[in-house]
Amino acid sequence: DAGVIQSPRHEVTEMGQEVTLRCKPISGHNSLFWYRQTMMRGLELLIYFNNNVPIDDSGMPEDRFSAKMPNASFSTLKIQPSEPRDSAVYFCASSPRGTGWYEQYFGPGTRLTVT
Amino acid sequence: ELKVEQNPLFLSMQEGKNYTIYCNYSTTSDRLYWYRQDPGKSLESLFVLLSNGAVKQEGRLMASLDTKARLSTLHITAAVHDLSATYFCAVDSNSGGYQKVTFGIGTKLQVIP
């Protein structure tokens, strides 16, 4: 398996622009997680899906952030409008929770810079 | 709300030395994970600890779990430079009927040749 795939790997955008990050989980995994990592705040869970349904979005910072999972093989995290404080590395992870093993497999991340 | 605390946050050690990283958590859980992150890279799973008294070893790293004390340790034996990385522990908890994973802030390990 190719592992969790994220795109783009790097994104530089200007404040106010819309940003869309994409994630393809490992086939057969039924849970998907979006994280944000910064030096100041560490690794923060933004939202997680189980069987394509959003379960916990309490970590989503504000209404500018939205996430969707239209099917088991694709998810997006959208920021609209983007702000400089959104600059971070965004990770997507998936997990085969149905098996009882909750270990997460992380994608390579998207480094977002908002100027 | 589950809190996960790691210490130390930074650790600089010489090659060949032994050291332990600690992970404390605030509520009942019987699942704990250790991850490694190299600079500029993603997180990689090291260990999954599923029960009280669980011990896992891989090379120079050994992880253990004491659910009664709500404590996990990651012991490093005879450190080598390749172990330089940031190590995270993460704990499962039940939130509204669903499992939720909370990560510690990480321990940055630097092994000096």
Q: How far is A81 from chain B (nearest CA, A)?
A: 26
Which residue in B has a C-alpha nearest to residue A90's C-alpha? B42
Substitution target in A5, A89, A104, A105 with the highest count of B β-carbons within 10 Å is A104
Q: Identify the band that residue B96 occupies on the pLDDT scale cut at 50, 70 and 90.
A: low
Contacts of A102 in chain B (CB under 8 A): 31, 33, 48, 92, 99, 101
Q: Tens digit of pLDDT for each residue in A48-78?
A: 898 999 988 988 988 999 999 999 999 999 9
Question: Is B43 touching A (CB cutoff 8 A)?
Answer: yes
CA distances from residue B9 to A62, B5, B85, B97 in whole angstroms, order as listed: 29, 9, 12, 32
Q: How far is B75 from chain A (nearest CA, A)?
A: 20
Q: How far is A109 from chain B (nearest CA, A)?
A: 7
Q: What is the average pLDDT across B30-36?
A: 91
Instruction: Judge whether residue A46 has pLDDT over 70.
Output: yes
Contact between residue A36 and residue A87 where contact means Cβ atoms under 8 Å apart:
no
List beta partners, residue B100: B93
The predicted structure's pLDDT at residue B2: 84
- C-alpha closest to that of B80 among B56, B60, B65, B107: B60
The two three-digit tokens of residue B30, written as one number: 């019987």
The predicted structure's pLDDT at residue B27: 86
Instruction: Judge whether residue B29 has pLDDT over 90.
Output: no
Window A:2-21, CB contacts with B under 8 Å? none
Contact between residue A29 and residue A101 where contact means Cβ atoms under 8 Å apart:
no
